[in-house]
Amino acid sequence: MSTIPDYPARAVVDLDAIRDNVRALRATAPTAQVMAVVKADAYGHGLAPAARAALAGGATWLGTAHGTEALAVRAAVGPEPRVLTWLYAPGAPFAELVREDVDIAVAAPWALDEVADGARAAGRTARVHLKVDTGLGRNGITPEDLPAVLDRAAALQADGALAVIGLMSHFAIADEPDDPSVKMQTHAFEDAIRIVEGAGMPLEVRHIANSAATLTNPAAHYDLVRPGIAVYGLSPVPHLGAPGDYGLRPAMTLEARLATVKRVPAGRGVSYGHFYTTTQDTVLGVIPLGYGDGIPRHASGGSLGPGGPVLVGGGVDDVAAPGTGLGTARVLRVAGRVCMDQVMLDLGPYAPEQAGDVVTLFGASDGLTRAGAPNAEDWAQAAGTISYEIVTRLGARVPRVYAGTAGRETA
């Protein structure tokens, strides 16, 4: 681990892993194009580098939630790939989006006229994807509103202000592929396709598949799939398979240097509230990361729960296979309350670690049960959340350092 000035921790993002994950997703959905979703700073991995790496892996579309993200993506990757944005409020910068050749999803009746006004101001036709609510109950045009939306869209299309080129939706329970709602939403999406095309709007792309549906539901691939978390190598269906089962590998490794290592007696309370107490004379280590950096407070340990897992004493390759007792590295759990800037480990009475030694909170692993080393899903389990949140919530105070060559800008 190279020194990061003024900050003793870093997130290493493997751009080659992102590239290879997209290649694996293309192989899983060979009849569809791949839209790599890079919203929320590419799930915490860094928007521009991740977008370029995804394109290097064969993605032909990039997806964002907010318009500002779409404009940042366009500035980073140039004019070639298609870029889609789908979440905004009235007054969004539609003229700039159209001018920069960003596709815009329309999820509510009011948005049609605002997009059209933006297109007129930009002096070009807006490319629109209608987003229909097939059962998620979130953003999207309801079946009841769809006929009126199509009437208005047809008028604006005849006027040259916009062209309806796509239809999209989103599953509610794609991570349970046998759930009845998946079939129900698929039927509703098919109905919407027939209605839109029956209104004289032939569709260039139809898309509903997120990461889970891309990996588990070939019938939902249509013309385009929209994987998000899978692009970054984490399984959207951890109860069905680890990343490696789907040809994926996690792209982010979060590591830090121990700030303090000290010997304490048995019976010593550790961190706020003393929810962890040492049971023997031991060595405590302090990791200079906390909830101010996005480490979830719900991953506190001791009587508060299992605690987030941390790899100490070596790299992933040094970890013993589960149950073998071999290997130089070991996985320990957070001891006591996660603080704003630090978490504690009970390193054990014979710990050889010293201040400055590297520990890994999560990395490119299939997880504790498979590889004996933690990944983001293991932290999610400790905190009662999902891996998406673990990587996305990592704060700006943690520098991102990029490894690999995929998608790097050339001088």
- Binding-site residue numbers for substrate are 138, 340
Q: Are 349 and 357 in contact (CB under 8 A)?
A: no
Tokens 């899978």 belong to which residue?
230
Q: Is 388 a catalytic residue?
A: no
In the sheet that 205-207 helps form, which strands lie side by side, from edge to edge? 205-207, 162-168, 126-131, 103-106, 82-85, 61-64, 33-37, 224-225
Residue from 7, 222, 262, 272 carrying the catalytic annotation: 272
Residue from 7, 39, 131, 291 carrying the catalytic annotation: 39
Closest-CA residue to 202 (of 159, 149, 166):
166
Phi then psi dihedrals of residue 73, to 5 deg: -65, -45
Six-digit token pair at 353? 């670690």
Q: Is 291 a catalytic residue?
A: no
CA distances, 170 to each of 35, 79, 236, 319 (Å): 14, 27, 15, 39
- Alpha carbon distance 1, 135 (integer Å): 47
- Alpha carbon distance 155, 200 (integer Å): 12
- Alpha carbon distance 139, 87 (integer Å): 8
Six-digit token pair at 396? 């700006």
What region, left, alpha or beta, does residue 314 occupy, with left being phi > 0 and alpha being psi -120 to 50 degrees?
left
Six-digit token pair at 90? 């009235």
CB atoms inside a 10 Å sphere around CB 390: 30
Residues near 64 by beta carbon (within 8 Å), at least 6 away in sequence: 37, 38, 39, 70, 73, 83, 84, 85, 86
Angle at 306 between CA 300 and CA 307, to 5 degrees: 35
- Give the amino acid at 179: D
Q: Over the Cα atoms of the chain, what is R_g?
A: 24
- Please state the three-class secondary structure of 343-399 as a single string: EEEECCCCCCCCCCCEEEEECCCCCHHHHCCCCHHHHHHHHCCCHHHHHHCCCCCCC
Pairing of strands 343-346, 282-287: antiparallel
Six-digit token pair at 167? 């239809």
Phi then psi dihedrals of residue 222, to 5 deg: 45, -130
Binding-site residue positions = 138, 340
The catalytic residue positions are 39, 272
